[in-house]
Structure 1
């Protein structure tokens, strides 16, 4: 992107609230690289991203005169903050924005924020983005879920920017987003964390497991280590804030009970898990199943045994 690019002209002045954090910092950095003027707003004294970003210490739920003026000049206000902060901020942030500017968020749950925007932010464009990856991995080749509440030229410009950074914008409705997030995030994290709890109940240590771990188990250990060393608040929000996460956890528990019933001879072998436990989850179309089978083989080939 160059500073003369039309997309950047539509998003010339950007306010990134929570830009000192990992997700906000990712967006602030890329907006800067695309030629935008970026103001990072954060209640802490953390450093702003490298480059030309300005920094303003402030509380987005209690907007002072300086922050109100900055918001009023902005083409884009991006809320990269926890859900409760974003929900509390929408009404007054929207009131401070000029009509036609873009209000965006990076929440992992979209239903409540979409309702709040519909109730209080009718004069501005609005879109929710959810990078479906850890910020440290970067945008390249990775999906970014996009829930557009009020469409317009700045919303489309932001999605074009995401794609220019290498991301893949996937448009979804708010309910559809939360349903898929419950399956792709809440269910996945719950399965990995439950695996860790099960290991603790079995009384086996990671060191002795790692010495003999076959590739599937080593992969699960790697996933467990990544989640355990991540930011607890992020994983808590995925499980707690999404109203559909409870159903995902229930489905996981029922899946384990069904498998146990099959192996104990208590369940109908013709139902529940078609074709037996070895076929569990094999419901994808053949091309998709083949892709993930081959991907798994590549992953296993890259795994190095712990020593």
Structure 2
């Protein structure tokens, strides 16, 4: 996604991957593809040379690779260059970068959407670690591309994504775990499904059609994700206890509490849900495209 976006402004683009090299061109700017391992770069190799002169190095890899790559990359980068990572969790990488060579600017971003959806109108969380003109210019580019920039502190980022991502994904995956134990097949469930069930099936299908390592990083690397899952398990036990007590008024009280939490956004989300139900239940819009990875 970022190669596509940067083609409009960059003079020279180079992509480094363990895959075989390939060359492509779009938007008037060629992209050079190099086969190399960013965790074990050859100091005399072409990838290392490119990194040493780059204005921007964008690290878009799973967390274990990023943690290994942090030291060799920052040792190669020139003073004033910008290192950007796209990890869903910030705490471990930030700790690793703290011990790396200084002199470079650092921005840690988290696009809160699948790359296939496009950046326009979507939130990009950003944690500025070492500010400078290059880091500011990159954040300006995000806004020029139509991204909705949300600047957060490192711990603030991980705490809020523990709720918006780890908790949300855990709820959908837990639903999927339970479905696998149900004595019905997907055809039976699809035929009987009311709109909320259809929406959850759709969320589950999108997630399991994506890359497991993305969801693993969100659940395993975020230091606050364990608490989010514990809170979800506790909430399910509360619901079970509430029903076991046999008093409907307790559920009504819980509804009031949740309505109070949603506050002025209640009507907004009710309308969005109605529109989602209308779209997902429309029999004329059956989509057969493959699911894409989403965060």
User: What is the TM-score with the length of structure 2 in the denominator?
Assistant: 0.88
Indicate the SS of the match to 1:92. helix
Task: Name whichever of 179-188 and 259-268 sits farther off.
Answer: 259-268
Task: Please point out which of 55, 67, 80 is paired with 1:87.
Answer: 67
Structure 2: distance between partners of 1:279 and 1:137: 35
| Residue aligning to 1:137 | 117
Matching of residues 1-307 of structure 1 within 5 Å: 26-45=1-20, 47=22, 50-51=25-26, 52-64=30-42, 65=44, 66-265=46-245, 275-276=253-254, 278-279=255-256, 281-304=258-281
Structure 2: distance between partners of 1:267 and 1:124: 61
Equivalenced residues, count: 279
C-alpha spacing 1:151/1:297, structure 2 compared with 1 (3 Å): same
How far is the alpha carbon of 1:165 from its aligned partner?
1.2
Determine if contact 1:186/1:239 at 8 Å carries over to the other structure.
yes
Indicate the SS of the match to 1:139. coil
Determine if contact 1:40/1:48 at 8 Å carries over to the other structure.
no
Structure 2: distance between partners of 1:105 and 1:34: 19
Structure 1: distance between partners of 2:22 and 2:243: 55
Structure 2: distance between partners of 1:173 and 1:236: 23
Indicate the SS of the match to 2:198. helix
Q: Deviations over 1:18-58 (max 9, x none)?
A: xxxxxxxx111111123442100001126456521111111
How far is the alpha carbon of 1:140 from its aligned partner?
1.1
Determine if contact 1:210/1:305 at 8 Å carries over to the other structure.
no
**Runs of at least 4 residues of structure 1 off by over 4 A?**
46-50, 266-270
Q: Which runs of 5+ in 2 are unaligned?
A: 287-295
Determine if contact 1:90/1:121 at 8 Å carries over to the other structure.
no
User: What is the TM-score with the length of structure 1 in the denominator?
Assistant: 0.85
Determine if contact 1:87/1:116 at 8 Å carries over to the other structure.
yes
Structure 1: distance between partners of 2:7 and 2:252: 52
Determine if contact 2:195/2:281 at 8 Å carries over to the other structure.
no
How far is the alpha carbon of 1:296 from its aligned partner?
0.7
